[in-house]
A and B are shown apart, each in its own frame.
Chain A
């Protein structure tokens, strides 16, 4: 089974950042890390707006919206 990714998170669900998709460019991966999406960091899904719009996540006390294409490249460890 494929690892759960950021896009799979439901509203109000929390998870830990596990890894990045190998196809993600280093430059883009570094940007995610700089914004707080580091390995082991807790991330929470705040809102999943309709019609495939980017989902809203909270990480490091900051709120970002990330598109499906990009969110699915961040793999998670779902907290039980």
Chain B
């Protein structure tokens, strides 16, 4: 059988029904699994070699009447897939602990499958929780009511997988028939779902009681805020402290490799290229992958534990004051790692207005790519004084201030747009499901964090590499390493008048210009401009050189403010274009944020100089 003819099954279900974990178990594919509604924002395809079929994992949806962008993507794609002859059937995953909610979608899917003459299989997931509470569910009643086979499984413990595999094989063959026709509108289907859940499912709120006990504390006026603040402090501490040894490790590996490889090329243009463009330019970018890993690890833990939905609830009121939603919290938080996944995750916001505002403000969060710039300038400008017995450092506080500055700027921008340009844009209700608290699976979170870090490297890597090579070539030619007489120097001197009002000479101008392709390029370019070979590996050396080059406090702070606001990331602009369907808003954002960044930097430069006088 050729790959083209491989039978395909579509996997659908409510958010938090354990659908993606089931998909991972069946296909072994590394895919995002999380305990926060709407995490699967794109379709994922995987193959099961054991069963000889392909599976398509859809985003979690509540209904076939879409309200969010997530659901829109899922429903449009479902209809498209059901036209394909490769698609043999639909697998609908039901959360047995919240049966009524799951059954509504199940009945809608049955209607759709009957209409398109496709068989459907219902998978009752999370049976382990039912068993743990010593209660039962009547599968026979469900099977009769749904008019299609029902299989009991636990994706977590793999219980029931033998039956599931047999049912999937049968579904993928031509032996299965579509379920009998079922008519009815939303109200009728909801009544059917309730009736069926009452007859076959659980009675009472047995499984919700433990959730309520925790929520009584996690959402209380005092402890709720304490837990929230503690979680945020813990998150930022983890980004800076825990990732440091990992970053040092990657840096050492890059340096050791450079020492081993560069001598193999002898002396000349090739050796210079390998040392400065590959290890110097691209190597500096790799150093930041561990930071993304640690951040996604913590966010993954919060997602899977169920706390992230509570944090969104706590944040809703303050964020809505600025035109955002509690659901904006996850994208804004993720934006501190990378704007790209953050923009994708905003798909789960129902309100088009709040979704747009979230996407517009995400690039203002201090992402990992800004860290090297902040780190370099802070190391060069701010003394390493510590207080409270070394617990609080001036440099650490400066980092915190920059993060806060990004958040405040985002809120101000959102608040201004909410009341002006987007005043008449339509809104949608804020309804957020609070998933049960669950103990996260450490292995799954580690794998997810690894995958996200790898995605960051593979997606941003090629651009960074090209930029590193271009910069190196512009700085190296036409006089083989004579930077002062290079093409780069000519460009820098040409644009110097733009940066002169900020007290920055042409070398900084070149570094800023090149970092419009990717922020982290700034460090490598400046290293090249100041004549430090391998500046990226020798971070402190570059900071000292910067200090010695006469960079004033006013200019340094202006640069920091510029980088906190300016939208210097081609990949983010491309993702925004993809999400918004045109270049109009991304182009406007690029120009507006660049102008705002320049004006803010100029203001800071002027004020600091004035205060110094």
Contacts and interface: CB of A to CB of B under 8 A. Distances in A.
Interface residues of A, number: 32
Interface in B547-587: none
Interface string A47-70: 101111110101011111111011
Interface in A1-51: 27-28, 30-36, 38, 41, 46-47, 49-51
B215 A47 contact: yes
Given A33-B190, A61-B97, A73-B429, 9 more contacts: A27-B67, A28-B67, A34-B190, A53-B313, A54-B430, A56-B219, A64-B433, A65-B309, A65-B313
A52 B326 CA distance: 12
A41 to B, nearest CB: 8
A64 B434 contact: yes
B313 A54 contact: yes
A65 B434 contact: yes
A12 to B, nearest CB: 10
- What 4 A-B pairs come out closest when comparing CB atoms? A50-B221, A70-B429, A67-B430, A60-B100
A28 B429 contact: yes
A38 B309 CA distance: 24
A61 B137 CA distance: 15
Contact of A35 (B62, B224, B314, B428): B62
Given A33-B186, A54-B316, A54-B326, A66 B215 contact: no
Given A27-B65, A49-B224, A70 B208 contact: no
Range of interface residues on B (Cβ < 8 Å): 35 or more
A20 to B, nearest CB: 11
A49 B220 CA distance: 6
Interface in B310-324: 313-314, 316-318, 320
Given A54-B313, A56-B313, A61-B100, A49 B433 contact: no
A67 B99 CA distance: 25
B515 interface: no
B211 A63 contact: yes
5 contacts: A52-B317, A53-B317, A54-B316, A54-B432, A61-B97
Contact of A56 (B197, B205, B207, B215): B215
A6 B201 CA distance: 27
Do most interface residues of chain A lie in helix, strand or loop, or is the interface mixed? mixed
B431 interface: yes
Indicate the member of A41, A56, A73 with the most B CB atoms within 10 Å: A56
B63 interface: yes
A15 B585 CA distance: 45
A61 B430 contact: no
A61 B186 contact: no
B98 to A, nearest CB: 5
Contacts of B428: 28
Nearest to B434: A63
A66 B434 contact: no
B429 to A, nearest CB: 4
A59 to B, nearest CB: 9
Indicate the member of B101, B428, B429, B433 with the most A CB atoms within 10 Å: B429
B234 interface: no
Given A49-B224, A50-B224, A53-B314, A33 B187 contact: yes
Contact of A70 (B205, B431, B433): B431
A66 B431 contact: yes
B442 interface: no
Interface in B203-252: 205, 207-208, 211-212, 215-216, 219-221, 224
B121 to A, nearest CB: 22
Contact of B219 (A31, A35, A47): A47
B93 to A, nearest CB: 16
Contacts of B202: 61
A56 B434 contact: yes
Contacts of A28: 67, 428-429
A64 B309 CA distance: 10
Interface in B50-69: 62-63, 65, 67
B593 interface: no
B13 to A, nearest CB: 14
